[in-house]
Amino acid sequence: MENDMKTREMATGQDEGNGTPASSGRSFAENQRLDREPNPLKATARDVCVFYGEKQALFDVNLDVEDRSVTALIGPSGCGKSTFLRCLNRMNDTIAGTRVTGRIELDGRDIYEPGLDVVELRARVGMVFQKPNPFPKSIFDNVAYGARIHGLAGDKSDLEEIVSTSLQKASLWNEVKDRLHEPGTGLSGGQQQRLCIARAIAVSPELILMDEPASALDPIATAKIEELIDELKENYCIVIVTHSMQQAARVSQRTAFFHLGNLVEVGPTEQIFTNPQDQRTLDYITGRFG
């Protein structure tokens, strides 16, 4: 009971020294209702193991990812959160000596099946990294980049439409509409991260992976990204790696706790933070390790 209260306090509280408000002004309970209907599954992982050369980084991970909701991956440093995230769009393929076993399906289709077009997969599964990484191009060209490569725009006005819609969805349009041809790298860190989200959205992904998307940002920019995640979940499936348990509690509906390469526990976020079933989860969320 004491632990319950402590963990509830941790999850609902604000980041120490950060002061980030709860996203969209909604209460913790409203955001993570335990009684909400589960959404259909977007992705499933079954018995997923990852090896970097001889070293095994993930052990038999089984995880269901619901559509139109946010799944947070939490756990101590080195537990395999980013490794798992990268499995979902086969980014691990780009690291020499990496081997993935098991099965990962997106909409019921094995994403590791021979012959699958990885470029197309990465358009369906967008990624936003810890450090904003705009291309050294204009704001417009950053967002237009993927649409051009994938031939999504029939003509110039189609492309302009894609760029403006994506910037609007990323809550950046009003700040940049008069400077679309200035360099993306000239924006603030928070704006750059929203530009990267707009770039990801521009190719109409179904799943968006975010690897600590706010960890390089100040509290105000962090709050904007959290609000944006909250809005995006209405139309997209989002999986986010975060070191901040408060952030996981604010933005996610489901939370998965990793430890030493194992997925220890996954469930509704409120349950994970108030009534975890595994002692390791409890130890982590009460700050005993990590």
Ligand X SMILES: Nc1ncnc2c1ncn2[C@@H]1O[C@H](COP(=O)(O)OP(=O)(O)OP(=O)(O)O)[C@@H](O)[C@H]1O
Q: How far apart are the C-alpha atoms of 215 and 199, rounded to whole Å?
A: 19
In angstroms, the Cα distances linking 212 to 24, 209, 255, 267 are 19, 10, 14, 20
For the bound state, the minimum distance from the C-beta of residue 208 to ligand X, rounded and expressed in Å, comes to 17
For the bound state, the minimum distance from the C-beta of residue 223 to ligand X, rounded and expressed in Å, comes to 22
Q: Which of 42, 81, 250, 254 binds ligand X (CB under 6 A)?
A: 81
Q: How far apart are the C-alpha atoms of 16 and 55, rounded to whole Å?
A: 35
Q: Which of 23, 83, 191, 252 binds ligand X (CB under 6 A)?
A: 83
For the bound state, the minimum distance from the C-beta of residue 248 to ligand X, rounded and expressed in Å, comes to 13
Q: Does 280 bind ligand X (CB under 6 A)?
A: no
Footprint of ligand X on 41-80 (CB under 6 A): 52, 55, 57, 75, 77-80
Give whichever of 18 and 165 is closer to ligand X, judged by the CB atom.
18
Give whichever of 133 and 168 is closer to ligand X, judged by the CB atom.
133
Q: Which amino acid is at 238?
A: I
108: left (phi over 0), alpha (psi -120 to 50) or beta: left
Q: Does 95 bind ligand X (CB under 6 A)?
A: yes
Q: How far apart are the C-alpha atoms of 69 and 61, rounded to whole Å?
A: 20
Q: How far apart are the C-alpha atoms of 83 and 272, rounded to whole Å?
A: 21
Footprint of ligand X on 146-175 (CB under 6 A): none
Q: Does 274 bind ligand X (CB under 6 A)?
A: no
For residues 100 to 129, the per-residue mask of contacts with ligand X, x marking binding by CB under 6 A and - elsewhere, is: ------------------------------
Give whichever of 55 and 156 is closer to ligand X, judged by the CB atom.
55
Q: How far apart are the C-alpha atoms of 290 and 287, rounded to whole Å?
A: 7
Say if residues 254 and 69 touch (Cβ distance below 8 Å).
Answer: yes
Give whichever of 27 and 77 is closer to ligand X, judged by the CB atom.
77
Q: Would you tell me how many other CB atoms lie within 10 Å of the CB of residue 130?
A: 17
Q: How far apart are the C-alpha atoms of 14 and 185, rounded to whole Å?
A: 30
Nearest alpha-carbon partner for 143 in 221, 207, 196, 94 = 196
Q: Which of 82, 166, 191, 246 binds ligand X (CB under 6 A)?
A: 82
Give whichever of 95 and 149 is closer to ligand X, judged by the CB atom.
95
Give whichever of 22 and 63 is closer to ligand X, judged by the CB atom.
63
Q: How many residues bind ligand X (CB under 6 A)?
A: 12
The contact set with ligand X (CB under 6 A) reads 52, 55, 57, 75, 77-83, 95
